Every structure is written in C-alpha cells, then in structure tokens.
C-alpha cells in the first residue's frame, strides 16, 4: 500500500499555534476542500532528515533543494551531496549553501544530464497521510488516508492453452496497470484565535495502488458462463490448473469373451477382446476471465471470457477386472473384484485369463484410463464356464477271460 508523506518547514513566528493541511483531488486547493488534519505547532526546532533529495537545476552552477530553511551543517546535522551517485567532495568540487532559500552553489559547472542529490536536515514537520500508524516510521502526525480508489485497467490478450500430456490448462494475460489518483495539498498556519496565514505553495502526488500487495489479479472460472467463482488470487501473469473438469474417456467397444475348457483339469482359459474407444479426449466446459485488483482491493471490470478448450488426453492403459457373477459390474479398484491385467495402450486390445474354475459364471469389466488417471465407465461381458471336470468313475469287479468266435 502506498502512502503520502508531507514535509514542511516550521513557522518561526511566535503566534503560530497549529498547522492545517488541506487536500483535494483537483488543483487549486482552497478552504472548501478537505481539511485532513490539524497539527499542533512544536515550540522548539524539530529536525527532519531529508535523504537524497533530487536538486532542481537553476543553472550549471546553481541548484535548489525541495525545502528551504535548511539547518546549517554540523556534526549533528551533516549535509552530503552526490553527483551521479558519487560523493561530490571526492570529485574536488566544493559548494556553498543558502540555508534560507535552499540554493546550492557549486565551484564547477555541472551538465544538464547530471543527477545531483543532497541529504540535509530542516527545522520542520513530517505528516503521513494514512490511518495505519507505524511507530518505526518516526513520523509523529497522522491523518485520514489518501487512497487510489480508481479501478485498475482490465487484463487483455488472454491465452488459454491445453497441455494434454500433463492434464492441465495454462492461462496467461498481459500485465494491467492502474491509472492512479492525483492528490493536491496546501498547508496554512493558524494562531490561537483562529486567524490563519496565507496558503503554502501547492504540492501534488500521483498515487498508484497497484502491484505491491502480492495479489494483483483474480482468476475467475465458470462452468455455465453465468455463475463465476474466484479460483486464484495471485500476482503473476500465468494461471495453471490441473484436472480441469475432466470428463471420463469413452469406454472400450465390442467386448467379447472366448472360453476354452481345459478338460480334465477343471479349469478354463478365457480370452477377452475389445475395440478402441470412440474418442480419447475430454472436452472441458470451464470458462475463465481475469480481473486486476488494486493494492487496497478495488477490482477492475472482468476481462473477456476465454474457453472452453478440448484436451486430447490420450489413453494410458486398459484395466481388466473380474468377479463371480452376482448381477453387478466389477468396480474399478474395489475389493469386490480382482485385477486380471493392466495393459499399456497400444500394446494389445485383448487379455488372457487362464485357469479359471469351471462350472462358474464370471463378469468381466474393461476400464479405459487416460493419461491423467480418469477412467471410463466399464465395458462388461459375462462368461459362463461349462463343465471341464471328468466324471468320477471306478470300474469295480472288472474281469477279462478268453472267448471263442465261431463262424
């Protein structure tokens, strides 16, 4: 969250009782505008340290500080000047300071492209235009907050790409921004009887509440393009979602069972054969849109809607399950059935189940599983295994003797 800090010099007149700060969102602040705070005048100097103030060029030799009434340099209130990031004293250039006007006069001419910064102290006050008091700031006066309540710009250039290998979608968009709000300030001094001075010079600050909170965007999703929910609050320009509204793949087709009795062993071998599913993808119904959000929670209008997309997940494997027939279909992974085979896609469209018990009816189910683990409904078939057990026969009292065959 951005905050506005006002710094001004202390009035030296003994009659000064307080200062009044006025604020407006339009230029030319007057008494008709918002009185944001009234500050008691400190009777003694109250040094405020101004760090690396960018000096304003008047000529190649003369530059002005933002504040006049600079406190004379001393051990307690040192003045430091930097030319393009280097201490100017190390460059052999000297200077003098007009402490009343804030003018710095240099012994050598400086270029227009040079950046001149100065750190110094003033006999003044600092005001933080916020309602969130932070003692670590060292600022003693606080007023009602100035906030950028303008809506950020709407995110544009949305892109929604399927990533079928990983079963996800990738949503991206272009960076948004905030137009911001300009605030204008003037300060006046008042005495104990309510008489007020002329206004100070007007100063303005452009405040932009965007991009500093860690949550710059809301990603919203809808399955019917009517009801929307926020699925992510983030600061990046990319949203990834796994398991996007996955519809199950189509089931296997034309499932058949061929039975081969193992006579004399009371078992049978069963061979299952099936055809390819009608499709190997999933069509999502999810739609997306994005809002940008300012630091203080002001959302933009929603972006254009994008989606849905088609995700060709592809088949990962076939799972074959078996149970003794009881009128129900074997579950995908429950205890009611056993797994006969897990066959990688592309290897085969048949499975062999050897040595099953004869005189039993079995129900088989084949599940198609896509690359992200979503399985189809079951294709099922019943196999009725007949009798492969030899009769229980013993020839008791059997005798053999010679005999004659007469013609």
Taking Cα atoms as reference points, which of 32, 35, 85, 96 lies closest to residue 62?
96
Task: Indicate the range of 17-31, 130-144, 193-207, 276-290 predicted with least confidence.
Answer: 130-144
pLDDT at 391: 74
Measured CA angle at 177 (ends 175, 181), to 5 deg: 175
Task: Indicate the range of 57-61, 123-127, 136-140 predicted with least confidence.
Answer: 136-140
Helix (H, G, I), strand (E, B) or coil at 86: strand
Please identify which residue in the block is written with the tokens 């600061």. 235
Confidence grade of residue 295 (pLDDT, cut at 50, 70, 90): confident
Confidence grade of residue 318 (pLDDT, cut at 50, 70, 90): very high
Taking Cα atoms as reference points, which of 199, 177, 182 lies closest to residue 146?
182
Summary mean pLDDT of the chain:
87
Q: Sort strands 238-242 and 229-234 into parallel, antiparallel or unpaired.
A: unpaired
Name residue 172's beta-bridge partners.
Answer: 159, 238
Determine contact, residues 179/153, Cβ cutoff 8 Å: yes
DSSP 8-state symbol, 384 = E
Q: Is 232 left (phi over 0), alpha (psi -120 to 50) or beta?
A: beta
What integer is the mean pLDDT of 297-321? Answer: 89
What integer is the mean pLDDT of 250-279? Answer: 91
pLDDT at 148: 84
Helices within 181-221 (DSSP H only) = none
What is the number of residues in the chain?
407
What integer is the mean pLDDT of 163-178? Answer: 87
Determine contact, residues 115/85, Cβ cutoff 8 Å: yes
Q: pLDDT digits over 321-353, tens only?
A: 999 999 999 999 999 999 999 999 876 799 999
pLDDT at 75: 87
- 13 backbone dihedrals φ, ψ, rounded to 5°: -75, 140
Q: What is the CATH number of domain 253-281+311-385?
A: 2.60.40.10
Q: Sort strands 47-54 and 116-129 into parallel, antiparallel or unpaired.
A: antiparallel
pLDDT at 361 over 90: yes
pLDDT at 213: 58
Please identify which residue in the block is written with the tokens 């309540």. 149
Q: What is the dihedral of CA 354, 355, 361, 365, to 10 degrees?
A: -30
pLDDT at 12: 83
pLDDT at 251: 92
Alpha carbons 248 and 113: distance in angstroms, whole number:
66
Helix (H, G, I), strand (E, B) or coil at 136: helix
For the ranges 36-50, 69-83, 129-143, the one whose mean pLDDT is highest: 69-83
> pTM higher than 0.85, yes or no?
no
pLDDT at 138 over 60: no
DSSP 8-state symbol, 145 = P
Percent of residues, the chain, with pLDDT higher than 90:
58
Helix (H, G, I), strand (E, B) or coil at 350: strand
Alpha carbons 273 and 348: distance in angstroms, whole number:
9
Alpha carbons 44 and 312: distance in angstroms, whole number:
77
Confidence grade of residue 292 (pLDDT, cut at 50, 70, 90): very high
Alpha carbons 11 and 123: distance in angstroms, whole number:
9
Q: pLDDT digits over 200-248, tens only?
A: 999 999 988 876 656 789 999 998 899 999 999 999 999 999 866 567 8
Domain with CATH 2.60.40.10 in the chain: 253-281+311-385
Taking Cα atoms as reference points, which of 7, 70, 65, 72 lies closest to residue 39?
7
pLDDT at 114 over 90: yes
């Amino acid at each position: 969250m951005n905050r506005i800090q006002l710094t001004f010099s202390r009035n030296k007149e003994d009659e000064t009782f307080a200062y009044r700060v006025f604020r407006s969102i339009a230029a030319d602040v007057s008494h008709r505008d918002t009185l944001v705070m009234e500050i008691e005048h400190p009777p003694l100097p109250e040094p405020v340290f101004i760090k690396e103030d960018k000096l304003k060029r008047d000529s190649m030799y003369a530059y002005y500080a933002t504040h006049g009434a600079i406190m004379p340099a001393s051990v307690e209130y040192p003045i430091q000047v930097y030319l393009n990031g280097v201490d100017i004293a190390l460059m052999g250039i000297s200077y003098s300071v007009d402490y009343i006007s804030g003018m710095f006069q240099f012994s050598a001419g400086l270029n227009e492209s040079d950046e001149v910064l100065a750190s110094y102290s003033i006999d003044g006050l600092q005001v933080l235009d916020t309602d969130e008091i932070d003692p670590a700031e060292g600022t003693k006066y606080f007023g009602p907050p100035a906030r950028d309540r303008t809506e950020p710009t709407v995110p544009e250039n949305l892109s929604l790409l399927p990533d079928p290998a990983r079963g996800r979608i990738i949503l991206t968009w272009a960076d948004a921004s905030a137009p911001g709000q300009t605030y204008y300030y003037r300060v006046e001094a008042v005495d104990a009887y309510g008489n007020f001075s002329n206004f100070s010079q007007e100063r303005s600050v452009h405040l932009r509440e965007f991009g500093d909170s860690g949550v710059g965007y809301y990603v919203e999703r809808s399955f019917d393009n009517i009801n929307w929910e926020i699925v992510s609050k983030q600061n990046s320009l990319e949203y990834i979602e796994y398991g996007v509204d996955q519809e199950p793949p189509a089931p296997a087709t034309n499932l058949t069972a061929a039975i081969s009795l193992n006579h004399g062993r009371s078992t049978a071998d069963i061979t299952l054969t099936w055809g390819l599913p009608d499709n190997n993808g999933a069509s999502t119904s999810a739609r997306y849109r994005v809002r940008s959000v300012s630091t203080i929670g002001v959302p933009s209008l929603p972006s254009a809607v994008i989606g849905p997309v088609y995700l060709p997940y592809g088949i990962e494997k076939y799972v074959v399950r078996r149970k003794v027939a009881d009128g129900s279909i074997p579950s995908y992974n429950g205890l009611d059935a056993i797994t006969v085979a897990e066959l990688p896609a592309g290897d085969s469209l048949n499975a062999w189940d050897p040595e099953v018990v004869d005189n039993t009816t079995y129900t088989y189910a084949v599940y198609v599983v896509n690359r992200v683990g979503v399985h189809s409904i079951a294709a099922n078939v019943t196999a009725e295994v007949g009798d492969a057990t030899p009769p229980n026969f013993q020839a008791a009292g059997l005798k053999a003797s010679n005999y004659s065959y007469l013609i």
